[in-house]
Structure 1
């Protein structure tokens, strides 16, 4: 989902990382749902950089986390 949003804005991982203030590798991990150190500030910066509605990514990743928890119970 994040990769599609980034590509829609015609940004590379490096460009998005610069806007967010993180490393390109973190963007890659986020796009592949591999980042275990995801923080609210990073999500908010991503929303700003991608011009998304407030809390769009926060809610998306919270829902994904809840789904994963239910799978492992």
Structure 2
């Protein structure tokens, strides 16, 4: 099943293009929302990145980071 995503209530057809444009403009955090109510967050410092998927309000979420990123997690 294909899931449609929006950013600031605007449909997103190419997520990679949106992220590249936002990073180039200095926006290092981007939140997307799906029609099913899920949220997808992309956070970067331009050298590494973290993606977080939340299935709904109150969901602790799942995350993935750049494989060589050095980070601390309390999970």
Asked if TM exceeds 0.5, the reply is: no
Structure with greater helix percent: 1
**TM-score normalised according to structure 2 size:** 0.28
**TM-score normalised according to structure 1 size:** 0.28
Structure with greater strand percent: 2
